[in-house]
Amino acid sequence: MQIILDHSSNHESNEYLRALWAKLRTEYGKCAWQFTPYKDGQSKTVHFGFMDIGLDSTVEVSINYEKKGVIKSINLDSSLPREQLELLKQLCSGLNQASNKECFIISTVLESPLPAFAPVVGNGFRIFHRDSGESILQIQVLAFDHHDAAHIAACKMQHVCDLLAVFTNSFVKLTKIMWSRSFSEVSQNVEFTGDLGWVDDHPVENELTTLASYQKSAIGLLLQDKVKSEFINGAAHFNNAAFLLKDYALTNGALTDTATVLYVSALESCAMTKDVVKESCSSCGQVKYSIRRRVLDLVSEFFPKHLVRFIDGYYASRSKFLHEGIMCSKNNYFGTSIPQLSVNSDSGCQVATSVLPINLRDYVSYIFRGTVMSESEVAFDSQQTSMSSITKF
């Protein structure tokens, strides 16, 4: 059974699908999936899989498109009786997604090795801590039901956690998801009052992890989809790198190379938010301004030459790891050092374990915070009021 929809945009199609699944949950009590997505480019069809709405048979659901990501028609194939398929057709055809959204407050408990977060009341979000010491993040979303709300909010909350990671120089992860109709009452709105130019530290005041005013504003802009995707992606790499090394030990340093790749990749993403003039070589056609050059130029905005060289060394190590599989150490330290020579290492010695790249973490975090503060137009998609300048080395 085919239902013609003729949508005009990807946004319209995804809004329709979210509304449809919510309507099915309301009408039938469930909308579960054997989700087996694939696309047939020749027939311009995207198959979702098999939908279970509690009837005697599942329904195979697919869509046809003329433009990628935009629904032309939706197809329902099933052995259900025709009258039941007709009811489904009426539901699909008569759906008015624009008027069915409701406001939901989605909450999560934050995982972080730092002290609990100080209370923050921002535009569309709250951060606070309970007496138990748990830090809570709440955001407001418009959605078609609470399942849809949790799905939409989880993505936004992960992005908030990624910003919190670079703001606090540590990993921050969301855990369980809860929903309600209203924000929790937060009586205070505490802001960081210390030196904003800190590097190898964490913003802890009065035994609470505390956000600066510009960081609160940045989270509000993120929830309005006004932060550049490259910046968010870079912050996510930083967050994942820090999380990867949360259980680091000398005898468990094998993940250090992977974390280093993520830290350097975070800088690449951050550097990609900047506009540069690209020139191609007249003889070979290659772009002269390399990604590595972008990264080093970004680093040089905040650090002196010797630290630019320090980070460039990590960039070189990352390239060797990714392209040649060369690791920084043999990962064979279990309590006793056995000095030996190496013809390839920078030190001339075999390295038994990878050193925790804590300075690299500190510098990457500092650059992200500095990018937000000193050049807000780089991090954000629209022009914003200038934020305070960060102290540079």
Q: How far apart are CA 183 and CA 185, in angstroms?
A: 6
Q: Which of 254, 236, 233, 234 is closest to 245 using CA atoms? A: 254
Share of the chain above pLDDT 90, in %: 71
Q: Could you give the 3-state DSSP secondary structure of residue 289?
A: coil
pLDDT in tens, 119-154: 999 999 999 999 999 999 999 999 999 999 999 999
Q: Which of 157, 72, 69, 61 is closest to 107 using CA atoms? A: 157
Q: Residue 48 above 60 pLDDT?
A: yes
Q: Residue 388 above 80 pLDDT?
A: no
Token output for 105? 């407050």
Share of the chain above pLDDT 70, in %: 90
Q: What is the mean pLDDT of residues 198-215?
A: 96
Q: Residue 215 above 50 pLDDT?
A: yes
Element (H, E) at 324: helix 305-324
Top pLDDT among 303 and 324 is at 303
pLDDT band at 100 (very low <50, low <70, confident <90, very high): confident
pLDDT in tens, 283-316: 566 665 578 889 999 999 999 999 999 999 888 8
Mean pLDDT, rounded, of the chain: 89
Instruction: List, edge to edge, every strand of the sheet that includes 120-122.
Output: 120-122, 125-129, 135-143, 102-111, 173-180
Report pLDDT for 156: 97
Q: Could you give the 3-state DSSP secondary structure of residue 120?
A: strand
Residue 140 Cα distances to 107, 108, 159, angstroms: 9, 12, 14
Q: Which of 92, 81, 26 is closest to 56 using CA atoms? A: 81
Token output for 255? 């993940």
The predicted model scores a pTM of: 0.88
Q: What is the DSSP annotation of 39-87? A: EETTTTEEEEEEEE-SSSS-EEEEEE-SSTT--SEEEEE-SS-HHHHHH
Q: Could you give the 3-state DSSP secondary structure of residue 328?
A: coil
Report pLDDT for 229: 94
Q: Residue 262 above 90 pLDDT?
A: yes
| 145-170: b (≥16 Cβ within 10 Å) or e | bbebbbbbbbebbbbbbbbbbbbbbb
What secondary structure letter does DSSP report for 354?
A: P
pLDDT in tens, 160-173: 999 999 999 999 99
